Amino acid sequence: MTEEVFNRLVSVYVGMRAELLRFLHARLGNEAAADDVFQELFLKLRFAQLPEHVQNPRSFIYRTAFNLSNAHARSARRRVARDSQWSETTTQKVGGEAIADVAGAEDRLAAKEHLRVVLQAIEALPPKCKEVFINCRIEGRSHREVTERLGISAKTVEKHMTTALKHLALTLADVSRDWG
């Protein structure tokens, strides 16, 4: 990235401060996290490998903020889940090896079971919907590529993605470790 592109991005970023903080606050539900991600966003713009030309700095910055805030929310959720698991495990270890072994076996089972449930949820999608989901989300193809590949309209891609995401969220919300 040229210094010129960076400078342009930063001036846009500074000008967007109020709306970005508002967006991050709405997305993360707390001001401290919004501030953190706002800072992180700057570091990202400064140090990440960015494209040579950024056509639309505003939407580029919003997209980066969107990705960072999603990752932030996920890792916060996982930390909470892990901390509660960890304290359960250590409490049990006090009781002696036999009990710790049981906890280990339960963890092992839980990890395996979780993977199985997630894969089953994907397999349970209607065929076309599953194909769109795998193409877009897992293989990272753009919606435009997928419309050409599968010969369907952009609206249909979006519709299948919505169905897939809703189904996965509904299935996993009940069983996920992260939702306890």
Q: Which residues bind another protein (CB under 8 A)?
A: 19, 22-23, 26-29, 43, 47, 49, 59, 62, 66, 70, 73-74, 77-78, 82, 97, 100-101, 104-108, 110-112, 115-116, 118-119, 121-122, 133-134, 136-138, 142-143, 158, 161-166, 168-174, 176, 178-179
By beta-carbon proximity to another protein, the closer residue of 14 and 175 is 175
By beta-carbon proximity to another protein, the closer residue of 18 and 151 is 18
By beta-carbon proximity to another protein, the closer residue of 19 and 148 is 19
Q: Is 3 exposed, middle or buried (0-12, 13-18, 19+ CB in 10 A)?
A: exposed
Report in angstroms how near the CB of residue 66 gets to another protein at its nearest.
6
Quickly tell me which residue has 């706002």 as its tokens. 38
Report in angstroms how near the CB of residue 41 gets to another protein at its nearest.
13
Report in angstroms how near the CB of residue 15 gets to another protein at its nearest.
15
Positive or negative torsion for Cα 108, 111, 81, 32: positive
Report in angstroms how near the CB of residue 11 gets to another protein at its nearest.
19
Report in angstroms how near the CB of residue 8 gets to another protein at its nearest.
18
In this structure, what is the dihedral angle of CA atoms 59, 3, 15, 41, given to the nearest 10 degrees?
Answer: 60
Residue 99 vs residues 26, 90, 93, 162: alpha-carbon distances, Å: 43, 10, 7, 44
Tell me the C-alpha distance between 118 and 96, whole Å: 33
